[in-house]
Structure 1
Amino acid sequence: MPGGNNATRKWPVGDIAWLLAVLCAGLLARLLHIERQPFWLDEALTFQRIHLGTGGLIADSYANRHMPSYFLLLQLISQLDPASAILRIPSALFGALSVGMVFIIARRIGGRSAAIVAGLLMALSPLQVQYGQEARSYTLVTLLITIALWGLVRLAQNPARASLGIRHADFDWCGWTSYVFGTIGALDVLSDAAPWLIAANASLLMIWRSLRLEPSPDARAGFGRNWLLGSAIILACCVPFYGAILAASDGQILHKFDWIPPLSWQTLKVAAKSAYLMRMAAVVRFSVLPTAVPLLGLLVAMLGMVGLWRMRGRLEGRVLLLGFAVLPLLLLAISLVKSMVLPRYMLWSAAPFFVLAGIGAASLPRRIRPAVATVLLLACAVNLAPVYRLETKPRWDMAAATLAAQVQPGDTVFTGDPNAPTMLAVLQPKGAAPIGTTALVTPQLDVALARWKQGSRVWAVNGRSALGQPEGLDAFKDRITALGTPALQIPEGKEITILMFPAPAAAD
């Protein structure tokens, strides 16, 4: 297999050109229509957090189990322009750089053909593109973990060099530094990176065990010292921040994930299909959307299995396997107690999987590889197209515009979703007065009913802002039947409906 012995040689011009091509493809895919979908709840909370001031931002981040680092970055960027597209651009850039790292890892292990296929899969994965168009930190974590993964692969390819002392002229500074600081960066951006520590240390354990075959008796001891030093640096740079999260959450971290759907075969299939098999996920419904290329996921799965088979017995292959498998298996184990299976929580584990798929493609006969890469490119592009035209996030922007135009002083806006007032406030039309200054916005039905009886018109909004137990329109109408018959029913996209109930005197 190409790539292993030649990994340190200077790159040919052709490889550099392909790297730039997949980088551009990944960036274009993420920047295209980046402003089309409105914010959903997580992004709306990001918007609110970055406008709290630095102290408030840090406190609110820790209270909600988040590191403040990414939000501080967005706070700085928001000073240029608070528009949604500006706040999403860092995610697009980090996502595109992740594409480049996947290409580099795959080339190091499997050569140019593996790198092209792995890079294209990462560039055109619907889930990777979706989160590359969100004002959240998932793509930065993915980038940092791919940097750490590259370091681990490098260490696995030359364990003897990785065991040298840090003062030795041939000490692998690149491998150890990439692993240590990539891991620190990921952990200090988002706690979703914590399972990477398990995968990485399991990989380091295997590399350490492989040194028993080395003629030098000091190799294992040297590697162990470097491993312990790296671990100490990682813990020193991360433990204080995780202590702050624990202190702010009163130790009740798992109890704050009740909104995640219960573990089932359906949730497992949705997570696997969207994270690894090129399916597009709905944001507020735990489902995958229809695909334009039904067999693409099967093809990618087969390439991944072939790549895993091709890498059997090689340390680099075991590193990739652990990088891919530890995260979903850990989430599955935790979900036996508290459901934690979500596509975005599995996002970074797709990178090593796509590298394996690239290696599987590189095992095909040389004469058909260009045709396979071309077919894969076209299939991925067609498969990705619906991301840009389908409604994947509720149109709270349309609902906010409708209410801003029609509510009058003294009106009441009742929202079935308790987070809807946040959505309406964040997505209010530019230049329009906040709805809350004209009408009372409340998720409490008893308040809305009391004001209605006192002569207030009520605008009842059915729709959700995030995952959770859905309430259909019929059930919503049954819940507010005391308001009578709505005079208006206004659909706003697929997820939201606004009902207007005239005041009792006006109804009479």
Structure 2
Amino acid sequence: MNGSRAAISRPARWMGGTRRTVPFVAPALASLALGLWGIDRRDSMWRDESVTYQVAHRSLGELWGLLGHIDAVHGLYYLLMHGVFSVWDGGLVALRLPSVVATALAAAGVGAIGARLAGRRAGTLAGLVFALLPLTQQYAQEGRSYAMVTAGVTWATYFFLRATGDARARWGTAYALTLGLACWLHEFAALALFAHGLTLWWSRVPRPVWRSWAVAAACVVAGLLPLALVSVGQAERQLGWLGRPGLTAWLQYLALSATGMLLCRLLVRHRGSATGSDAAAGAAGSSTGVVSLVRLALPLLITPAGLLMVMSLVKPWYVDRYVLFGMTGLALPAGAALGRAIGQRRRLAPAVRVPAACLAVCVVVAVLLPWSLLMRSPESRKDDVVAVAHAVQRTAHEGDGVLFMPSRRREWLLSYPGVYGRLDDLALAESPESSHTLQGTELPAAEIRRRILAADRIVALTDPAGQPLDPFPREEIKRKTLEDHFDVCSRTPLRGAQLVVHARPGHCTP
């Protein structure tokens, strides 16, 4: 975004040598270590990750056919994962390792932004805060695109920051390309454009900066347009399962927004009280730097999630992971506030400093460790595809009929063709590959009933008891036919699922 050197803020005068790399390297290494810790999540995988796993293992022709029908919004991610599995079919580690690396890159980007605006200490701490956030840790070990999107938006934000104060076109080009890539990984990354526009308006930048940013933003939108046109036609199939944001979602959004605003208010109120080496460099205590950090962070935290939630009042599209990149806007003021608190430790008596520091560390560990352990357990996700497949393998007999109730739960076995292939899928009309769908297509209700009645023993995979039942004719006929003509032999509760074995009256066996 060339045309003016009037920056949102002037960069800190960093010292050379290895110290300059600390805000990038330290958060990235910490994030990498956290991501690799327990990466297999006790040998568990939930259904969204299973979609990635089985779709990425399809041929390129089958994958292309799928994207023409559904999931085009994840198309680039599936192609990348197809490449990963072509090089190394490393199971759960290969599934999640790209997200681990992407989160490390995002943490480095947070550190880079913080260091440029508020100095090395603040940048390093902001990157570490980002790496430690429970949401960050969760999606660092998720075989989906959200960590990559966050990395793309974070580095695009860094290039956006550089472009406001550098007349060379390379920063604006890097901004447009990086954000465009993030949008192709998930098109809701385009909401970051609103946050960046609000930052420019709040910072009162001159018109040349506005014009340069508008050109870059137009390039992002133009590049995204083909994907948007395709995905709009798929929206009902893609997002039809979503409801409008509930009270819990609104409260979470308000709590995060309030936390960010409180941190920013504290920073602005005490922006002139810097101490330590960063103050000597004119960074952490710089009024301009702190104000610029606030003007960059708050829109990124509040605007994308807020816009998506408001849009979802009309068309339900909101899920918090779609705007995970907003966590960058929370980590930046948190890191700057921590940096200021550390810089003011000299005001404490020497006998108080060490106990105070130890107490702070203990509080952080006590708060974050339970969340970190939970994120690395099967209980952190809605269900566990691995546990379902193992239960079916133990329980089902060769040639047993199998019913998925509802049909979308076929995903529980698709990543385990060795288990699925032993069973007779009574409702299946076309496989996922031949029908270019995620879970295949099912027979008409009357044909499903006929095939159920021809079976002697059926394994039904259903949602847990108490979940809403699909009102569709195919699902109703499955339930009614089993209830009228079969006995329940066993019922096995699983994480987010249950396995129910049915047999003809009097034919249940141990």
Aligned equivalent of 1:24: 29
Alignment of 1:25-104 (within 5 A): 25-36=30-41, 38-62=44-68, 63-79=70-86, 80-81=88-89, 83-104=91-112
- Alpha-carbon contact 1:254-1:338 (below 8 Å) kept: no
> 2-side partners of 1:27 and 1:272: how far apart?
30
Q: CA deviation at 1:350?
A: 0.8
Determine whether 1:180 maps to 2:176. Answer: yes
Partner AA of 1:491 in structure 2: P
> 2-side partners of 1:149 and 1:436: how far apart?
47
- Alpha-carbon contact 2:402-2:423 (below 8 Å) kept: no
3-state SS of the aligned residue for 2:456? coil
Q: CA deviation at 1:181?
A: 2.1
Structure with the bigger RCO (C-alpha within 8 Å, sep 6+) is: 2
Instruction: Summarize deviations over 1:32-73 as a string: whole Å, max 9, x none.
Output: 221225332222222232233224323423532415222211
- Alpha-carbon contact 1:452-1:503 (below 8 Å) kept: no
- Alpha-carbon contact 1:307-1:357 (below 8 Å) kept: no
Aligned equivalent of 1:334: 311
> 2-side partners of 1:35 and 1:450: how far apart?
42
Any unmatched runs of 5+ in structure 1?
163-170, 212-219, 278-297
Aligned equivalent of 1:425: 414
Instruction: Summarize deviations over 1:108-166 as a string: whole Å, max 9, x none.
Output: 1122332233222211122112111122111111111111111233345x4xxx4xxxx
Percent same amino acid among aligned pairs? 21
CA distance 1:17–1:359, change in 2 (3 Å): closer
Alignment of 1:2-401 (within 5 A): 5=10, 7-11=12-16, 13-14=18-19, 16-17=21-22, 19-36=24-41, 38-62=44-68, 63-79=70-86, 80-81=88-89, 83-156=91-164, 158=165, 162=166, 171-173=167-169, 175-206=171-202, 209-211=204-206, 220=207, 222-246=208-232, 249=233, 253=235, 256-270=238-252, 276=256, 302-303=262-263, 305-307=265-267, 314-364=291-341, 366-368=343-345, 371=357, 374-375=361-362, 377-378=364-365, 379-393=367-381, 394-401=383-390
Aligned equivalent of 1:293: none
- Alpha-carbon contact 1:448-1:458 (below 8 Å) kept: no
- Alpha-carbon contact 1:327-1:346 (below 8 Å) kept: yes
CA distance 1:182–1:11, change in 2 (3 Å): farther
3-state SS of the aligned residue for 1:408? coil
CA distance 1:438–1:210, change in 2 (3 Å): closer
Partner AA of 2:379 in structure 1: E
Instruction: Summarize deviations over 1:411-460 as a string: whole Å, max 9, x none.
Output: 212222322222212135xxxx3424432354888766644543511222
> 2-side partners of 1:155 and 1:183: how far apart?
13
Partner AA of 1:502 in structure 2: A
CA distance 1:49–1:307, change in 2 (3 Å): farther
Q: CA deviation at 1:106?
A: 1.2
CA distance 1:438–1:126, change in 2 (3 Å): same
3-state SS of the aligned residue for 2:329? helix
Instruction: Summarize deviations over 1:383-432 as a string: whole Å, max 9, x none.
Output: 3222223512312222222323432344212222322222212135xxxx
What TM-score do you get using the length of structure 1 for normalisation? 0.77
> 2-side partners of 1:349 and 1:270: how far apart?
13
CA distance 1:88–1:255, change in 2 (3 Å): closer
CA distance 1:469–1:127, change in 2 (3 Å): farther
- Alpha-carbon contact 1:39-1:427 (below 8 Å) kept: no
CA distance 1:479–1:9, change in 2 (3 Å): farther
Give the paired residue count.
447
CA distance 1:239–1:327, change in 2 (3 Å): same
- Alpha-carbon contact 1:463-1:496 (below 8 Å) kept: yes
- Alpha-carbon contact 2:118-2:293 (below 8 Å) kept: no
> 2-side partners of 1:24 and 1:199: how far apart?
28
Partner AA of 1:197 in structure 2: L
> 2-side partners of 1:145 and 1:116: how far apart?
19
Q: RMSD value over aligned CA atoms?
A: 3.5
- Alpha-carbon contact 1:272-1:343 (below 8 Å) kept: no
Q: CA deviation at 1:318?
A: 1.8
CA distance 1:203–1:300, change in 2 (3 Å): closer
Aligned equivalent of 1:487: 489
CA distance 1:93–1:480, change in 2 (3 Å): same
Partner AA of 2:190 in structure 1: A
3-state SS of the aligned residue for 2:387? helix
Aligned equivalent of 1:460: 460
- Alpha-carbon contact 1:103-1:115 (below 8 Å) kept: yes
> 2-side partners of 1:447 and 1:360: how far apart?
64
CA distance 1:255–1:305, change in 2 (3 Å): farther
3-state SS of the aligned residue for 2:205? helix
1:415 to 404, 414, 436: 404
> 2-side partners of 1:401 and 1:258: how far apart?
30
> 1-side partners of 2:26 and 2:121: how far apart?
14
3-state SS of the aligned residue for 2:141? coil
> 2-side partners of 1:354 and 1:317: how far apart?
11
